[in-house]
């Protein structure tokens, strides 16, 4: 699919900015006397690399069309779910249930999204899967910590698969104006704001005065970070109104959506931090040395996607 000038501009702009950021980080790293914390620089260069990869893959998927984009998000969900279940203790009795979770429910969810079958994909996991999975686990005959095991598998499926599938579903929304690329731009806007929200919160949290929100769960999330990050993301979102379907006198809606996305992203990272804290790990990707996991990078996307999608849908039906 050939992209139009606005979509290319947005995508190209992001890639150029990321390339500049990568260059800046590299420059700072090469200067030992920059006075910056080495750990912060390392985190930064890892994140920039992860974003670069994310947006490059996203760009390739956009060029290949909506089905490729859905498939790409499907793979992302598959990988995130692997990380989630790996760090969640299950018992041998859950093995076959997990097989269905990975090889039937996860692909099916994304196939339904690609078919734009909203009535079914919006309930496949929270209704059908959530009723069938406990029954399948019970069939295996192991009742030890039954409710806990079921809840863990269902939470993983909900966060990693169900929620994330609403991101590519944005491509199928009947957006006004008859522009075939409006959906692509909306998804790009969403991913960009969610990731920017993370980055801006991190940046604002580097300020000297620190009021940690929940010290027992994540010592890096401060009120300064949240308010500063959400405020900046809202302004940036409003400034990007031209890339969204919220045009004309609705331009402020782009800012509002950015605000909601950032707040939901915050909720997502905080929730995942709590799970990680409980499991005694720092990152979902500790199994892959030196890299944060996929889930660490997309937890904000997972929480924000369904809300962003539904708000846009309500706005369209207004």
Partner 1 sequence: MDTNLTRNFLVLAARFLSGTSIRWIDSQPDTCQRVYFANHTSHLDSIVLWSALPPAVRLLTRPVAAQDYWTAGPVRRYLSSKVFHAILIDRKEVKVHRSPVQMMIREIGDRYSILVFPEGSRSDGSEIREFKSGLYYLCKKRPDLELIPVHIDNMNRILPRGEVLPVPLLSCITFGPPIWLEAGETKTEFLQRARNAVRRLKEA
Q: Is 82 in the site for partner 1 (CB under 8 A)?
A: yes
User: Quick one: 6 or 46, whose CB is closer to partner 1?
Assistant: 46
Closest C-alpha among 164, 217, 181 to residue 3: 181
Closest by CA to 168, choosing from 121, 213, 211, is: 121
Q: Which is nearer to partner 1, 151 or 287 (CB)?
A: 287
> Is residue 287 involved in binding partner 1 (CB under 8 A)?
yes
Q: Which is nearer to partner 1, 102 or 251 (CB)?
A: 102
> How far apart are CB 287 and partner 1 at their closest, in Å?
5
What DSSP assignment string belongs to 108-155? HHHHHHHTT-HHHHTTIIIIIIHHHHHHHHHHTT--TTHHHHHHHHHH
Q: Which stretch binds partner 1 (CB under 8 A): 126-134, 135-143, 237-245, 282-290?
A: 282-290
95 contacts partner 1 (rule: CB under 8 A): yes
In angstroms, the CA 97 to CA 10 distance is 42
Rounded-to-integer distance, Cα 257 and Cα 240, Å: 11
CA dihedral sign of residues 255, 256, 257, 259: positive
What does each C-alpha distance from 306 to 162, 190, 260, 264 come to in angstroms? 9, 11, 11, 10
State yes or no: residue 83 binds partner 1 (CB under 8 A). Answer: yes
Instruction: Name the residue nearer to partner 1 (CB basis): 137 or 192.
Output: 137
- Which of 138, 47, 113, 26 has its CA nearest to residue 305? 113
In whole angstroms, the minimum distance from the beta carbon of 262 to partner 1 comes to 30
What does the block give as tokens for 107? 């692909």
Of the candidates 34, 42, 99, 239, which one interacts with partner 1 according to CB under 8 A? 99
Q: How far is the CB of 103 from partner 1 (least distance, A)?
A: 8
What token pair was written down for 299? 């937890």
Considering only the stretches 98-106, 128-136, 137-145, 161-169, report the one whose residues sit in contact with partner 1 under the rule CB under 8 A: 98-106
Q: How many chain residues bind partner 1 (CB under 8 A)?
A: 15
Q: Is 96 in the site for partner 1 (CB under 8 A)?
A: yes
Applying CB under 8 A, the residues found at the interface with partner 1 are 78, 82-83, 85-86, 90, 92, 95-96, 98-99, 102, 287-289
């Amino acid at each position: 699919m050939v992209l139009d000038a606005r979509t290319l501009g947005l995508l190209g702009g992001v890639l150029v900015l990321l390339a500049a950021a990568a260059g800046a980080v590299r420059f700072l790293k090469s200067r030992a006397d920059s006075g910056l914390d080495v750990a912060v620089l390392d985190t930064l260069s890892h994140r920039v690399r992860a974003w670069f990869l994310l947006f490059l893959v996203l760009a390739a998927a956009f060029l290949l069309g909506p089905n490729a984009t859905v498939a790409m998000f499907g793979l992302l969900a598959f990988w995130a779910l692997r990380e989630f279940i790996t760090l969640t203790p299950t018992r041998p009795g859950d093995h076959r249930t997990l097989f269905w979770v990975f090889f039937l429910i996860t692909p099916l969810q994304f196939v339904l999204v690609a078919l734009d079958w909203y009535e079914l994909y919006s309930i496949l996991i929270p209704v059908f899967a959530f009723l069938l999975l406990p029954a399948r686990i019970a069939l295996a005959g192991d009742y030890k910590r039954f409710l806990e095991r079921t809840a863990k598998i269902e939470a993983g499926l909900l966060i990693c698969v169900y929620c994330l599938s609403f991101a590519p579903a944005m491509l199928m929304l009947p957006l006004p104006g008859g522009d075939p690329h409006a959906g692509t731009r909306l998804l790009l806007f969403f991913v960009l704001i969610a990731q920017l929200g993370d980055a801006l919160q991190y940046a604002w949290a580097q300020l000297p005065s620190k009021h940690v929100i929940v010290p027992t769960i994540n010592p890096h999330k401060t009120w300064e970070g949240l308010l500063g990050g959400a405020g900046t993301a809202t302004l940036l979102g409003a400034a990007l109104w031209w890339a969204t379907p919220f045009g004309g006198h609705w331009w402020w809606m782009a800012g509002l959506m950015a605000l909601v996305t950032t707040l939901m992203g915050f909720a997502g990272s905080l929730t995942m931090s709590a799970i990680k804290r409980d499991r005694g790990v720092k990152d979902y990707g500790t199994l892959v040395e030196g890299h944060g996991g996929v889930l660490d990078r997309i937890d904000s996307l997972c929480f924000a996607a369904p809300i962003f999608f539904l708000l846009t849908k309500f706005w369209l039906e207004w």
